[in-house]
Structure formats: C-alpha cells, structure tokens
C-alpha cells in the first residue's frame, strides 16, 4: 500500500468512498455535498490536504485535514473501501496523516464523529485522540455527538 497526497485525478474517489459510509449511517448534509463535490476549493486551497491510500494503483482509503488556522486542523472524511476494511489501512492512513501534521508543526488535530461509528472511535482513541467538550452550537454536522482532539 502507498499513501499519496491530493491529486485531482482522485477527487471522485474521495467523494465515492465517503458517500458510502455517510449514506449507510446518516443523512448526507449540505456541508458534506459541498466538501465532497469541491475538495480543491474547500480543503486544498485553504491550506488543508487530502490523502489517498492506494493498493495496486486503486484508491482504497482516504482522509482529509481541513485547516482552521495554522495550529488547528480538522481530521475529516476518513473512509476505507468496504472490501478493504480490517486490513490496517485506516490505521496506516491515520498514522501518516498525524506524521504529516507533526512535520508541519500543527499543534492540534480535532475531529467530530458519532459514537455509532464504534470502530472509527476506537481507531482514534488508539492513535491518542481524547474526548473533549462538544459545543453542539459550534458543530459542523447535525450527526456529531462526539468531539475528540489530539495534541501533537
């Protein structure tokens, strides 16, 4: 497996992989459509990054870091193809993203999730993310019931 940074060639895969889990567990929200349909405008140009896990040249996983300011980035839109789950791809992708953030002196990563995504929550906990206070009035998504942070 190889992890690569954003290439417009993979933008459709970013959207496809994320819509699978969003549609399975939640209502796809307008902000999801905006981010997934325009990743260059909403993530890359403002200073974020999208990563892709490639296996034999095919995209099997993805994850984004959305810049909020120079020190504070959001881990978002993490997905692994159904037929490749349980193979450690999500773990490798997350470790790569954390290393990338550290190499750029980013101080804190945060994420918003939902406890129904038990495997994802455990993955984040194993990586060192800790639950933090959730201000639902400041949340990006209606589905959020858990906010986590990792100090780098």
DSSP notation for the chain? -EEEE--GGGHHHHHHHHHHHHHHHSPPPHHHHHHHH-HIIIIITTT-EEEEEEETTEEEEEEEEEEEETTEEEEEEEEE-GGGTTSSHHHHHHHHHHHHHHHTT--EEEEEE-TT-HHHHHHHHHTT-EEE---GGG-S-TT--EEEEEE-
Identify which has the larger pLDDT, 49 or 139: 49
145 in a structural domain: no
Give the pTM: 0.94
Query: What confidence score (pLDDT) does residue 136 get?
Result: 67
pLDDT tens for each residue of 55-93: 999 999 999 999 999 999 999 999 999 999 999 999 999
18 in a structural domain: yes
138 in a structural domain: no
57 in a structural domain: yes
- The token pair that represents 53 in the structure block: 């896990």
Domain of 66?
Answer: 2-107
Query: What confidence score (pLDDT) does residue 82 get?
Result: 95
139 in a structural domain: no
127 in a structural domain: no
pLDDT at 139 over 80: no
Query: What confidence score (pLDDT) does residue 118 get?
Result: 94
36 in a structural domain: yes
Domain count, the chain: 1
Kindly report the CATH number assigned to the domain that includes residue 33: 3.40.630.30
83 in a structural domain: yes
């Amino acid at each position: 497996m190889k992890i690569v940074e954003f290439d417009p060639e993979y933008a459709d895969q970013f959207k496809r992989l994320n819509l699978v889990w969003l549609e399975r567990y939640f209502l796809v929200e307008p902000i999801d459509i905006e981010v997934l349909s325009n990743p260059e405008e909403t993530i890359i140009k403002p200073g974020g990054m999208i990563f892709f896990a490639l296996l034999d040249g095919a995209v099997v996983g993805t994850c984004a870091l959305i810049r909020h300011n120079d020190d504070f980035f959001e881990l978002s839109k993490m997905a692994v193809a159904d037929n490749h789950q349980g193979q450690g791809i999500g773990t490798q992708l997350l470790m790569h993203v954390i290393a990338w953030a550290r190499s750029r002196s980013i101080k804190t990563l945060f994420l918003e999730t939902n406890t129904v995504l038990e495997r994802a929550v455990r993955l984040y906990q194993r990586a060192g993310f800790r639950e933090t206070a959730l201000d639902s009035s400041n949340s990006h998504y209606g589905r959020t019931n858990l906010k986590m942070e990792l100090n780098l």
